[in-house]
Amino acid sequence: MQKRKLGINGPVVSALGLGCMGMSFSYGPPKDKQEMIALMRTAVERGVTFFDTAEVYGPYTNEELVGEALAPLRNRVVIATKFGFDTTVDPRAMKGVGPVLNSRPEHIREVAEGSLKRLRTDVIDLFYQHRVDPHVPIEEVAGAVQELIREGKVKHFGLSEAGIHTVRRAHAVQPVAAVQNEYSLWFRRPEEGLIQTLEELGIGLVPYSPLGKGFLTGAMNENSTFDATDFRSSLPRFTPEALKANQALVDLLGRIATEKSSTPARIALAWLLAQKPWIVPIPGTTKLERLDENNGAVEVVLTPEDLGKIDTAAARIKVHGERYPERVEQMTGR
């Protein structure tokens, strides 16, 4: 597995990380604990050193799972987790309001202490603000994480789904190592100024959902259905109509994959890796065969001609459906 450095001051990690959320949260019922522990440990043996979790996944259970799996391998891995939600409030009881944000400095410290215990570690390698809290100035958030860094409880500060202005303000207080935003061939908003800003400031980009929450793998179509516990069942982009309309993007990846003797998933990930040397996607999976398929993307070589062909063809494809319901979308890009 190749290595990459997240920005100027960030950690050196495997070129592809592993998003762990779906092992316990959001993509249907929680998966078998021992199988997931075995998968993460196998990932390390395959060269993956970057693992992504969050307090809110579960809540708590995903951090506990990651902590148990990686404790024996702690000196070989970089673990990222996140703060920013009030996990005492059940969003299902909020009558459509959605999750409640909380990035008050005292809460950030509480989350850090809890995450350290659940992750079975004495330091959090990368601590992201999960979503920007409009009620707490980002300078206060950056200052709170800065204190944790000074105390040796956190190594690096990150932001998730943050807009350009927020990134600049936070970075002026405490250098931001990485920004985690959704980015893939079917969601390219980071190209509208964010990537340019990160390059200017020397900050890494960690694309989540680099495979379009599974859609870009080619494993689903307009007839695909989702369990009630799978959050894709509530996403506008995963209605039968949207899936049918967006199939053109998967067909494009399939054509390139055929030319390269590869798979759509590998081409989608290779396209991201080719954008910048400081981009580290974190595809999630619960299956060993998918892990190996994803990791194979680092061996795929996309020439400038290939990239031009993909961009030209993709520009002709209109992606249908919003990525989140409106109440959730409003929490992104601030």
Q: Do 44 and 70 touch, CB atoms closer than 8 A?
A: yes
Q: Do 163 and 333 touch, CB atoms closer than 8 A?
A: yes
Of 61-70, 108-117, 317-326, least confident by mean pLDDT is 317-326
Q: Which two tokens stand for residue 214?
A: 């599974």
pLDDT in tens, 12-21: 999 999 999 9
Which one is predicted more confidently, 323 or 299? 299
pLDDT in tens, 255-311: 999 999 999 999 999 999 999 999 999 999 999 999 999 999 999 999 999 999 999
Q: How far apart are CA 118 and CA 67, in angstroms?
A: 6
Range ranked top by mean pLDDT from 47-56, 87-96, 306-315: 47-56
Q: How far apart are CA 50 and CA 284, in angstroms?
A: 12
- 57 is a catalytic site residue: yes
Q: Which domains does the chain have, with CATH numbers?
A: 3-217+275-300 (3.20.20.100)
- Hey, how many other C-beta atoms are within 10 angstroms of the C-beta on 334? 15
- Identify the sign of the CA torsion 157, 161, 166, 168: positive
Q: Which amino acid is at 137?
A: P
Q: Do 176 and 157 touch, CB atoms closer than 8 A?
A: yes
Q: Residue 83: beta bridge partners?
A: 129
pLDDT in tens, 188-247: 999 999 999 999 999 999 999 999 999 999 888 888 888 888 889 889 999 999 899 899
- Catalytic residue, from 57, 128, 183, 208: name it: 57
Q: Is 306 helix (H, G, I), strand (E, B) or coil?
A: helix
Of 47-51, 53-57, 306-310, 316-320, least confident by mean pLDDT is 316-320
pLDDT band at 94 (very low <50, low <70, confident <90, very high): very low
Q: Tell me what percent of the residues of the chain surpass a pLDDT of 90.
A: 82
pLDDT in tens, 121-160: 999 999 999 999 999 999 999 999 999 999 999 999 999 9
Which ranges constitute the DSSP H helices of 88-163? Answer: 105-118, 138-150
pLDDT of res. 85 = 95
- Identify the sign of the CA torsion 294, 127, 44, 2: positive
H or E segment to which residue 333 belongs: none
- Report the candidate in 52, 47, 45, 46 with the shortest Cα–Cα distance to residue 4: 47
pLDDT of res. 289 = 97
